[in-house]
């Protein structure tokens, strides 16, 4: 007997520089990376998280709300989410959120999720490819008082107010059962994200946050004022809401840099002492000589 329960899923996503594409062009002379030169993408594991949420909605009904905390240009990942099927998207942006470590970030996200209650699931990617900490998911779960299921690879069963999830990590797999609401961090080995649909892309390509209106007016002179553009977008469900610190019930001391217990003491450019080394010619003779030396010094068997 199937339950008539439908599910509200909130998906927390992040726009990140594409760290997988670091080439020489993106590096500066002193060996650091110019993040601005890397393409900004939807964090890969967050796409997997979105897919899992969309599947829940497709199979059981309900709603998928996607939230991102970032600078104004993070609206791009919200549009991506709309193209793939999200019902509602929200941008959290405020100078006060900037400089946040995972603790301050999870605090801000907690407040946003609470504002979106009631909900059954919070999904996020296991980790972001820029920070690589995998900390935000569990920290949001702790603040919301939710059970957490990390390394979530698949929802095996969802019935009424209970979910069974398969977890997968290098050393093995695990099957867990948990009451809702709960938070899942989703791994990249989960079912691949559906591509953006052509129809949804056409329907949503003009979706924008009010912060983008000045630029939009320039490219769309048929709208004479921001108010006119806003009315047009709002009527079509294409206005992406922006929430700032003022829209959330927050203690400002816990936001951003001020709310971050971890601080960077220093950054060292790694200058290695030139190790005494031999250059070997990539030729049969060169490599034969290398093998001789390795065997003689008991380095190779």
- Determine contact, residues 63/57, Cβ cutoff 8 Å: yes
Q: Per CB under 8 A, does 295 bind other proteins?
A: yes
Closest by alpha carbon to 196, among 84, 92, 61? 84
Q: Hey, what are 47's tokens? A: 């796409």
Nearer to other proteins, 170 or 224 (CB): 170
Contacts with other proteins by CB under 8 A: the residue count is 79
Residue 289: Cβ within 10 Å count: 14
Nearer to other proteins, 49 or 78 (CB): 49
What is the Cα–Cα distance from 192 to 103, expressed in whole angstroms?
29
Q: Which stretch binds other proteins (CB under 8 A): 54-62, 73-81, 86-94, 145-153?
A: 145-153
Site for other proteins (CB under 8 A): which residue of 36, 221, 253, 284?
284
Q: Which residues contact 263 (CB under 8 A, 6 or more apart)?
A: none
- Determine contact, residues 175/149, Cβ cutoff 8 Å: no
Site for other proteins (CB under 8 A): which residue of 1, 198, 235, 272?
272
Binding mask 7-26 for other proteins (x = CB under 8 A): ------------xx-x----
Q: Which stretch binds other proteins (CB under 8 A): 92-100, 227-235, 242-250, 285-293?
A: 285-293
Closest by alpha carbon to 107, among 116, 97, 99? 97
Site for other proteins (CB under 8 A): which residue of 6, 27, 72, 205?
27
Residues 149-188 that bind other proteins (CB under 8 A): 149-151, 164, 169-179, 182
Residues 212-251 that bind other proteins (CB under 8 A): none
Answer whether the bond into residue 118 is a cis peptide, omega within 30°. Answer: yes
Q: Which stretch binds other proteins (CB under 8 A): 116-124, 144-152, 207-215, 226-234?
A: 144-152
Nearer to other proteins, 81 or 128 (CB): 128
Residues 96-135 that bind other proteins (CB under 8 A): 101-103, 106, 130-135
Site for other proteins (CB under 8 A): which residue of 58, 142, 159, 226?
142
Min. distance of Cβ 205 from other proteins in angstroms?
A: 30
Q: What distances in angstroms separate CA 191 from CA 62, 110, 263, one per listed residue?
A: 20, 27, 36
- Residue 283: DSSP 8-state: S
- Determine contact, residues 99/260, Cβ cutoff 8 Å: yes
Rg (CA), the chain: 24
Site for other proteins (CB under 8 A): which residue of 2, 4, 219, 283?
283
Scored b (16 or more CB within 10 A) or e, 170-180 reads eeeeeeeebeb
Nearer to other proteins, 189 or 225 (CB): 189
Residues 30-49 that bind other proteins (CB under 8 A): 31-33, 35
Q: Which residues contact 1 (CB under 8 A, 6 or more apart)?
A: none
């Amino acid at each position: 007997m199937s339950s008539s329960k439908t599910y509200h899923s909130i998906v927390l996503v992040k726009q990140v520089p594409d760290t997988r594409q670091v080439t020489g062009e993106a590096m500066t002379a002193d060996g650091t990376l110019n993040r601005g030169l890397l393409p900004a993408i939807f964090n890969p594991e967050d796409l997997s998280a979105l897919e899992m949420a969309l599947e829940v909605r497709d199979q059981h009904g309900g709603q998928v709300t996607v939230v991102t905390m970032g600078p104004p240009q993070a609206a791009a990942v919200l549009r991506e989410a709309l193209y793939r099927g999200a019902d509602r998207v929200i941008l959290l942006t405020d100078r006060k959120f900037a400089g946040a470590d995972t603790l301050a970030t999870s605090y801000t996200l907690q407040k946003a999720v609470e504002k979106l209650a009631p909900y059954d699931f919070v999904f996020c990617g296991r980790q972001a490819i820029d920070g690589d900490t995998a900390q935000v998911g569990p920290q949001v779960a702790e603040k919301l008082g939710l059970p957490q299921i990390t390394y979530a690879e698949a929802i095996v069963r969802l019935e009424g107010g209970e979910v069974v999830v398969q977890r997968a990590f290098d050393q093995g797999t695990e099957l867990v059962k948990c009451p809702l609401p709960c938070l899942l961090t989703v791994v990249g080995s989960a079912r691949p994200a559906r591509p953006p649909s052509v129809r949804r892309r056409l329907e949503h390509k003009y979706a924008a946050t009010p912060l983008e209106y000045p630029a939009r007016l320039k490219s769309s002179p048929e709208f004479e004022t921001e108010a006119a553009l806003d009315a047009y977008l709002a009527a079509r469900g294409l206005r992406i809401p922006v929430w700032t610190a003022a829209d959330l019930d927050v203690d400002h001391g816990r936001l951003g840099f001020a709310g971050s217990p971890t601080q960077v003491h220093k950054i060292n450019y790694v200058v290695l002492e030139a190790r005494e080394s031999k250059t070997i010619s990539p030729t049969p003779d060169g490599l034969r000589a290398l093998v001789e030396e390795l065997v003689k010094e008991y380095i190779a068997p």
